[in-house]
C-alpha cells in the first residue's frame, strides 16, 4: 500500500497524525518518549497492531540516549520506560505485547555491551513492523477465502492500514479479496465517539478505490434487516483465551445484531492481540475515556448541556459465542475457541 | 411542566427552535405556511405528537387570510395546504392524522360561512394541543405502573416535552413515575445523526431534575451486559396495525439488544400515532435525509471525506415481536398486537 502508519525515520518515530484525518494527511516526527505517550493517549496513533509497533519503537526511544555501562542500571531504566508506556492506554493487548517483547530481547542480550543491547532493541522494534506487514497479508489471505463475489461487508472503527503498519486486519481481508478480483462493497459505521469509521475507514477505503458507504452507528440493524450485509468483520484489541474479544465500543452491538439476523460475524487479528493469560472477558480492563468525547464532537462543537453526566467506555467485549470465526495469521479459528486458540496459536507463542 | 414546545400566540405559531438546543432556548414565531414547512423539514419542531399539533395549527395558518365565500374554493385551498404540509416529512403518522382531522372538521362545517369554518379549524387545532397534553399524562400514568423503585431506563432520541406539547410520551412515563416518588435513573443514547438524545433529552431531563447519563449509541449493548438497564422505553412515529413501530433510527438496534439481554422494551405513543390502515412494516415509508447529517456534525464540522457515499435513513422499524408492550393513553397494549390494538383503540378512532 502507499501509506505507512508508523515508521522509524532519521532516528525518530514517524506517524500519521490520525486526529487530523480526513481533512489532512499530516506526518509527525516524535523523538521524545513523552510525546509518544501523548500521541498514544490522544490517539494520533491508534489501532492495536500499530500500538504494538509504537511500543517497540517507544522502548528504543526511551533508552537510545541513556548512557550507562552496566546491565542493572540499563535494565531499571528500560523497566521504567516500559511502565510509563504501558500507562498510556490499558486495553489493546499489542501495546503490552510489544513492551514485553522488547524487555525479553534486552534480557536475552544482557551479557553484551549496552550499545549492542540498544542495537538489538532497535532491530527487534523494526522486526515488529516487518512482521506486522507480513502478518496482515496472511490474515488477508485466510480471510479472503470467506468472501464470495459481490459480498457486502459491514465494519466498525478502523482496522485497516491506519490501525497497522501498512495493510490492515479487517480491511486487509477486504483488500486481499478485491485484489483477487472479487467485488466487495463495504458499509462503515461512523463509530462514535471518536468517529474512526467516518474519519479513517471511509478515507482509507476511498483512497484504495473500494466502494464504501458511511452510516450512523444506529443504521446497522436496519441495514441487516434489509439484507444489505453478508458479513460483519471487525478488528480486535484483546482476545482472551476463550475467544472473548475486546474491540471498539459498538462491536458487541453489531455482534448481537448479526446473531439476530443470522449474519456471520468475524474478528480479524494477529497473534499479538491474543492474551492467553486471561481466561475470559472478566479479565479484560476496559478504558474509560473523557466525557468530552461524547458531550462534544472531537472536542469542538458542544452537543450536550455543560453539566451533562456522561459514560464513555472506549471498548466493549464480544462474548465468544457471538463470533463465527477469528481470522488470524495462522488461519481462521472457530469454536470451540478455548481449545482451538491454543491449538492454532500455541500456549507460549503469545502469552 | 414549565416548557411548551408549540403554541398558538398572537395569531402565530410559537415554537421552540430545537436546532438551537442545548446552547440556547429560543422561541420563534411563525406566521407563514412556508416557514412552518421549513421548520418541520429542518426539525426546528419535531417529535410525532408535536407534529400533529403543528399540522393542526399549520392548516389554520394556511387558510386564515384566504378570502373567499364559497365552500368549493375554500375546500380546494384547504386541500392544497394539506398536500403541501404533508410533503414536509413522510414517516410520523401524527402529521397526517392532524391534517386529516382538520379536513374532516372543515368538511363537517361546510354548510356554514367560511369565517365559521375557519373558527372551527382553529378551535380544533387548539383542541389537538389540549388533547395531547391530556393524553401524555394518561400515557404517563399507565406507563409508570411498569416501574419499580430504582429502575434504570434506557431511551433514544427525544420522546419528551420537546416531542409533544408539554409532557412527553416515553419521558412522560418517567416524569409520572418520579412524581409518584419512585427513583428513576435514565440513560440516554445520543442519537446520531441529529443528536436529539444529547441535545434535547439530556437538556430536558436535567432541567426537570431527573438523573440522566448520556452515552454514545454504541454503548447500549455494554450497558445492558452490565445489568445497568431494567427497561428500554422509546417513542414512536408510526405504529402499524400489527404493532410494527417506526421510530428514530437506532430504535430497532435497541430492541434487538434488549431481546438478547432479556430486558423489556416498551414503546409509548398516543392514539394518533397508530395507522391501522397499514397492516405491517412493509407499508411504512421511511424518510431518507441529507448525507450531510452523517458526513458532518449538525452541518458544521466535517467528519468524513468530501466524496463519501452516505446512507441516512431517519427511522427504522421495530418488528412487533420485539416489543414487550405499547403504552398508550388507553392502557398498555400487549401481544397479540393485531387483535389487541383493534380491541383497545377501535378501528375507526384512529384509522
Which of B23, B214, B217 has the CB atom closest to A217's CB atom? Answer: B217
Contact A316 B249 (CB under 8 A): no
Q: Look at residue A348 in the predicted model and tell me its pLDDT.
A: 46
* Model confidence pLDDT, tens digit, residues B36-75: 999 999 999 999 999 999 999 999 999 999 999 999 999 9
Contact A256 B252 (CB under 8 A): no
CB A157 within 8 A of CB A196: yes
CB B136 within 8 A of CB B172: yes
Which stretches within B9-156 are classed as H helix?
33-41, 48-63, 71-86, 93-108, 114-144
Q: Look at residue B349 in the predicted model and tell me its pLDDT.
A: 45
Q: Look at residue B301 in the predicted model and tell me its pLDDT.
A: 78
* Chain B hits for A300, Cβ within 8 Å: 301
A280–chain B nearest CA distance, Å: 15
Q: Is A302 exposed, middle or buried (0-12, 13-18, 19+ CB in 10 A)?
A: middle
Percentage of chain A lying above the pLDDT 90 cut: 95
Contact A219 B250 (CB under 8 A): yes
Q: Testing the interface with B: which of A185, A221, A318 to mutate, by most B Cβ within 10 A?
A: A221
| Catalytic pick among B124, B132, B166, B237 | B237
Q: Is B326 exposed, middle or buried (0-12, 13-18, 19+ CB in 10 A)?
A: buried
* Chain A hits for B313, Cβ within 8 Å: 219, 222
- B3: nearest Cα among B194, B206, B196: B206
- B177: nearest Cα among B222, B213, B147, B155: B147
Residue A260's closest chain B neighbor by CA?
B256
* Residue A1: pLDDT over 80: no
Architecture of the domain spanning A6-137? Up-down Bundle (1.20)
* Chain B hits for A260, Cβ within 8 Å: 256, 259-260
The CATH number of B147-345 is 3.40.50.10470
Tell me what the mean pLDDT of segment A194-213 comes to: 97
* Model confidence pLDDT, tens digit, residues A291-339: 999 998 887 778 999 889 999 999 999 999 999 999 999 999 999 999 9
Percentage of chain B lying above the pLDDT 90 cut: 95
Q: Testing the interface with A: which of B216, B281, B290, B320 to mutate, by most A Cβ within 10 A?
A: B216
B88–chain A nearest CA distance, Å: 22
B23–chain A nearest CA distance, Å: 7
* Residue A151: pLDDT over 90: yes
* Residue B209: pLDDT over 90: yes
Q: Look at residue A346 in the predicted model and tell me its pLDDT.
A: 79
Q: Is B65 a catalytic residue?
A: no
Statement: the pTM of the whole predicted model exceeds 0.90? yes
Separation CA B256–CA B319 (nearest Å): 10
Which bin fits A236, alpha (ψ -120 to 50), beta or left (φ > 0)? beta
List the domain boundaries for chain B: 6-137, 147-345
Q: Look at residue A90 in the predicted model and tell me its pLDDT.
A: 95
Quote the crossing angle between the two packed helices A48-63 and A71-86, to the nearest 10°: 140
* Chain B hits for A311, Cβ within 8 Å: 187, 213-215, 219, 223
Q: Look at residue A2 in the predicted model and tell me its pLDDT.
A: 84
* Residue B321: pLDDT over 70: yes
Contact B310 A214 (CB under 8 A): yes
Residue A221's closest chain B neighbor by CA?
B253
Tell me what the mean pLDDT of segment A2-6 comes to: 94
Contact A220 B302 (CB under 8 A): no
Average confidence score pLDDT of chain B: 96
Which of A212, A218, A300 has the CB atom closest to B301's CB atom? Answer: A300
List the Cα angle B110/B73/B60 in 5-degree steps.
65
A67–chain B nearest CA distance, Å: 45
* Model confidence pLDDT, tens digit, residues B67-120: 999 999 999 999 999 999 999 999 999 999 999 999 999 999 999 999 999 999
* Chain B hits for A206, Cβ within 8 Å: 305, 307-308
* Chain B hits for A282, Cβ within 8 Å: none
Total count of residues recorded for chain B: 351
| Residue written as grid cell 458532518 | B296
Which of A193, A211, A216 has the CB atom closest to B249's CB atom? Answer: A216
Long-range contacts of A223-228 (CB under 8 A, 24+ apart): A223/A154, A223/A187, A223/B311, A224/A154, A224/A257, A224/A258, A224/A260, A224/A261, A224/A263, A225/A261, A225/B252, A225/B316, A225/B317, A228/A152, A228/A187
Positions of A marked active-site: 237
* Residue A98: pLDDT over 70: yes
* Chain A hits for B154, Cβ within 8 Å: none
Amino acid at each position: 500500500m502507499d501509506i505507512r502508519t508508523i515508521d522509524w525515520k532519521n532516528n525518530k518515530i514517524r506517524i500519521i497524525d490520525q486526529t487530523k484525518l480526513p481533512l489532512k494527511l499530516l506526518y509527525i516526527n516524535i523523538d521524545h518518549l513523552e510525546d509518544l505517550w501523548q500521541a498514544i493517549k490522544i490517539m494520533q496513533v491508534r489501532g492495536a497492531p500499530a500500538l504494538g509497533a509504537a511500543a517497540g519503537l517507544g522502548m528504543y526511544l526511551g533508552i537510545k540516549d541513556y548512557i550507562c555501562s552496566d546491565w542493572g542500571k540499563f535494565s531499571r531504566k528500560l523497566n521504567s520506560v516500559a511502565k510509563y508506556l504501558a500507562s498510556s492506554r490499558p486495553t489493546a493487548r499489542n501495546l503490552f505485547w510489544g513492551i514485553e517483547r522488547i524487555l525479553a530481547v534486552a534480557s536475552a542480550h544482557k551479557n553484551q555491551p549496552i550499545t549492542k543491547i540498544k542495537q538489538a532493541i532497535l532491530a527487534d522494534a523494526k522486526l515488529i513492523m516487518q512482521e506486522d506487514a507480513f502478518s496482515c497479508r496472511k490474515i488477508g489471505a485466510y480471510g479472503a477465502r470467506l468472501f464470495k463475489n459481490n459480498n457486502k461487508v459491514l465494519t466498525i472503527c478502523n482496522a485497516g492500514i491506519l490501525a497497522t503498519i501498512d495493510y490492515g486486519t479487517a480491511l486487509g481481508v477486504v483488500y486481499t479479496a478485491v485484489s483477487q478480483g472479487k467485488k466487495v462493497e463495504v458499509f462503515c459505521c461512523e463509530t462514535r465517539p471518536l468517529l474512526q469509521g467516518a474519519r479513517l475507514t471511509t478515507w482509507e477505503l476511498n483512497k484504495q478505490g473500494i466502494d464504501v458507504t458511511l452510516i450512523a452507528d444506529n443504521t446497522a440493524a436496519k441495514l441487516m434487516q434489509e439484507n444489505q450485509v453478508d458479513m460483519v468483520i471487525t478488528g480486535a484489541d484483546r482476545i482472551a483465551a476463550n475467544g472473548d474479544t475486546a474491540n471498539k465500543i459498538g462491536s458487541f452491538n453489531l455482534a448481537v445484531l448479526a446473531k439476530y439476523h443470522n449474519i456471520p460475524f468475524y474478528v480479524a487479528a494477529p497473534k499479538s492481540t491474543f492474551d492467553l493469560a486471561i481466561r475470559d472477558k472478566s479479565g479484560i480492563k476496559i478504558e474509560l475515556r473523557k466525557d468530552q468525547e461524547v458531550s462534544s464532537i472531537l472536542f469542538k462543537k458542544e452537543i450536550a448541556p455543560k453539566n451533562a453526566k456522561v459514560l464513555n467506555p472506549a471498548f466493549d467485549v464480544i462474548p465468544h459465542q457471538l463470533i463465527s470465526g477469528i481470522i488470524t495469521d495462522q488461519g481462521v479459528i472457530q469454536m470451540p475457541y478455548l481449545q482451538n486458540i491454543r491449538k492454532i496459536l500455541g500456549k507460549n507463542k503469545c502469552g
